Chains A and B, each alone.
Chain A
């Protein structure tokens, strides 16, 4: 084998290694960042709107710790839900969130003045490039809230601070609940894209903040007396679900690294006066 031929083979092998490494290693070595909710692609045919749809079998769950929301309301620190299981999936058109938590009683109606319904909510910023105050946002940095109540209530709300939630005229959010064996499982879904004023669009290529709340009706939880998460984020930006140009960038970077190394080695050899 001639030197030229050997150099070409080595070059080809290095190139293959660079491309392979760029394509497969970053997803393997990057553990899921803290507070990330991965958003898996699913097909509508797999019934992601159904809490028991097969779409959810392949979607990794995130265990989200929940704690009493800070609030001046009476007994605000007396809440009962301490963990929420969250899964997120999307089709081309809709994003689906499957929330699941333990609750010994399904509180579906509030026909007695002392009874309150179980409920859950998801909060996302209106402006997804800026993180709002977690307690219902602020006047300048508003949030959308997707609310489900066990009395068949689904609401899409806008808020600009505590006590300001206001319903959108027409909710774009759907909810589908299931209560089974001491556990609520609720799928909330909404179109990915939105061009409506004050309605968050999720057709973006960056991560989007999201927070969760759960109310246990039989514990008289309502309003700010609730279990809440800290901020999490939907992984909608570059990353495991990132756009294809990411791999191209890694390949270019790989070649640049290898090229720089070769030039350096060549230069060092030249300085030492090595000859063949």
Chain B
């Protein structure tokens, strides 16, 4: 089987060379992230880490390059999954039309009455000075389902640094590009003229227009951190990963076959891209969520999954069934006293193994 015969996005199952990893043309290596949704507690520490590093002020108030939304839910920006973008077919020849969300769909950055409450002795409750009707996480923890079988989970989202980025294809000026050394998708702020074709072209709505700068901006995968550009020259994983209290993210290169990202995505096939039907081939992957089984009316656990499989299939595609089944099998194996490399990978707490970013430094 040649590399050309390898179906897009599937692994060969064994580490037998480069055949299993589908990198973008002209890209040497591809950074990737795996997020284990079973560990996310919705604390928004990643969101705040990102915001305080990259999007404080200067026209960026409404932007969350990293956001955590409740699923099922409308997400951020509201109903982004219905906003179009991506590719019509898997040959990536024709893009799907997309829409630019409006300000209300993102939610405005609210100003609060901190001054009055904290310093002027007002007995008003702390609240926004405007009267907002929507914002990020407006529907937090709402989820779906009926008591006692309601359900929800958290979905952290950043730019997927896709292998076939439709945002890149959408730009008439080639201001947005996928950089050669690691496949990070970046916007050249000198070239960008704020046309926003990338904003409408991204099906995940992870490119944002900065009206103050008159350019579009997005997640940069904290490239100065992974390049060791910090004050002490150390290499760090993106802030959203390093600052995560439950440490739910693994960061590395998709084509680093010894790394956990490669193993989870390409070998075990339990880490899945969000909405693969958009056909951009994301490089952020998710371990799909498990939940306790449903309860009967008298409070007994019954053998019915709480999060409906069709819903997870909607988000992660039909491969979600195999992924969930595989993880369940391996858990059973460990429960019986057996060993599982897969569960070891998912429960590893060693940062040196979770963040493998220096592996190609000597090239």
Contacts and interface: CB of A to CB of B under 8 A. Distances in A.
Given A74-B97, A222-B195, A223-B195, A110 B211 contact: yes
A217 to B, nearest CB: 12
B360 to A, nearest CB: 32
Given A162-B172, A223-B172, A110 B97 contact: no
Contact of A74 (B101, B197, B209): B197
B172 to A, nearest CB: 5
A223 B197 contact: yes
Given A73-B172, A162-B172, A163-B174, A112 B103 contact: yes
A164 B191 CA distance: 9
A113 B214 contact: no
A224 interface: yes
A77 to B, nearest CB: 14
Given A74-B97, A74-B197, A223-B195, A114 B173 contact: no
A110 B102 contact: no
Interface string A94-131: 00000000000000011111100000000000000000
B58 to A, nearest CB: 14
A163 B172 contact: yes
Interface string B258-300: 0000000000000000000000000000000000000000000
Interface in B88-144: 97, 100-103, 106
Contacts of A224: 172
Interface string B59-101: 0000000000000000000000000000000000000010011
Contacts of B194: 110, 222
A222 to B, nearest CB: 5
Contacts of B100: 113-114
B197 A113 contact: no
Contact of A113 (B97, B174, B196): B196
Nearest to B201: A74
B106 A113 contact: yes
A73 B208 contact: no
Chain B, interface size: which category? 20 to 34
A165 B193 CA distance: 10
B211 A113 contact: yes
Contacts of B101: 113-114
B102 A112 contact: yes
Contacts of A164: 173
Interface string B192-214: 01111101100000001101001
Contact of A223 (B102, B106, B193, B199): B193
A74 B198 CA distance: 12
Contacts of B103: 111-114
Contacts of B196: 113, 222
B172 A114 contact: no
A111 B200 CA distance: 17
Contacts of A72: 172
B215 to A, nearest CB: 11
A276 to B, nearest CB: 82
A114 B197 contact: no
Contacts of A163: 172-174
Interface string A197-225: 00000000000000000000000001110
Contacts of B197: 73-74, 223
B102 A113 contact: yes
Contacts of A114: 100-103
Interface in A171-203: none
Interface of B: 97, 100-103, 106, 172-174, 193-197, 199-200, 208-209, 211, 214
Can you list the 9 inter-chain pairs with the closest CB atoms, starting with the nearest?
A113-B209, A223-B195, A163-B173, A112-B103, A114-B102, A111-B211, A163-B172, A114-B100, A222-B195
Interface of A: 71-74, 109-114, 162-165, 222-224
Given A71-B172, A111-B103, A162-B172, 15 more contacts: A73-B172, A73-B197, A74-B97, A74-B200, A110-B211, A111-B211, A112-B102, A112-B103, A112-B211, A114-B100, A163-B172, A165-B173, A222-B196, A223-B172, A223-B195
25 contacts: A72-B172, A73-B172, A74-B200, A110-B194, A110-B211, A111-B211, A112-B211, A113-B101, A113-B102, A113-B196, A113-B199, A113-B209, A114-B100, A114-B103, A162-B172, A163-B173, A163-B174, A164-B173, A165-B173, A222-B195, A222-B196, A223-B173, A223-B193, A223-B195, A224-B172
